[in-house]
Amino acid sequence: MVERSRLVVTEVVTNSVRHARLTPPQLIELQVSMSPELLRIEVTDNGPGFAALAAGPDRGNGASDGWGLWLVDQLTDRWGVDGRRGTCVWLEFDCAPEQLSAA
């Protein structure tokens, strides 16, 4: 779970840097919470938002990027986009007792 969560956080933060069109004083917020059952991560920025589609890029157009949200979808148990307070991408990982001792 640690490796999966690191990878998806890197992807989502990179998306914020690349697509949110933030100005230098604007921040990207990272919030992590954990319970015995769940690891939840939220990445929030003031960008314009996007639709939570994870199908991957259209392979017919030769694009080499666009696989990030597909990867997020594959590595998390649940994820989504909340646009009520800027753009918040939330990621959830279900925790098994043996995963908690390794985290």
- pLDDT 10s digits, 53-75: 655 555 445 555 678 889 999 99
Fold of domain 2-102: Heat Shock Protein 90 (3.30.565)
Beta bridge partners of 84: none
* CB contact at 8 A, 76 and 3: no
- Coil, strand or helix at 73: helix
pLDDT digits (tens, 9 = 90+) for 7-50: 999 999 999 998 899 998 999 999 999 999 999 999 999 988 77
Any idea where the domains of the chain sit in the sequence?
A: 2-102
At residue 86, the pLDDT reads 87
pTM of structure: 0.80
**Res 98: pLDDT:** 60
Q: Which residues are 31's β-sheet partners?
A: 42
